[in-house]
Amino acid sequence: MKTRKLHNRIAVLRQERGVSRKELAEIIGVNFQTVGYLERGEYNPSLDLAFRISEYFGLPIETIFSTKPLRPLSQELYGSRDEEGG
């Protein structure tokens, strides 16, 4: 069975918090290169790793990872102007 690519917001969330790949890697217990692979979608995390990332950012897993391309968080939270009729 072919593995589906996961899309994620790790890079955006990491940059918002001013955390380097190396710092995040140390916090979640992986090699810093793994964070790069995750951000580029070259590696899908285990369920355990996805939970560790979710817990660090304080967000639900489905806010960070998706099987479909993710919209910007501002659209997820507030909707787009098109949806508001303006």
Q: Is residue 20 part of a domain?
A: yes
Of 31-35, 39-43, 69-73, give the lowest mean pLDDT range. Answer: 69-73
Q: Is residue 73 part of a domain?
A: yes
The pLDDT assigned to 22 comes to 98
Distance set, CA 79 to CA 4, 12, 13, 14, 40 (Å): 27, 18, 19, 23, 26
Q: Is residue 2 part of a domain?
A: no
3-state secondary structure of 30: coil
Q: Is residue 69 part of a domain?
A: yes
Closest CA to 35 of 48, 47, 22, 46: 22
The pLDDT assigned to 84 comes to 46
Q: Is residue 65 part of a domain?
A: yes
Q: Is residue 75 part of a domain?
A: yes
pLDDT band at 80 (very low <50, low <70, confident <90, very high): low
Quick one: CA dihedral 60, 12, 6, 33, positive or negative?
Answer: negative
The pLDDT assigned to 33 comes to 97
Which residue range is the domain that position 38 belongs to?
7-84
Q: Is residue 1 part of a domain?
A: no
**How far is C-alpha 16 from the geometric centre of its chain's CA atoms?**
12
pLDDT band at 42 (very low <50, low <70, confident <90, very high): very high
Whichever domain contains 19, its CATH number is 1.10.260.40
Domains identified in the chain, total number: 1
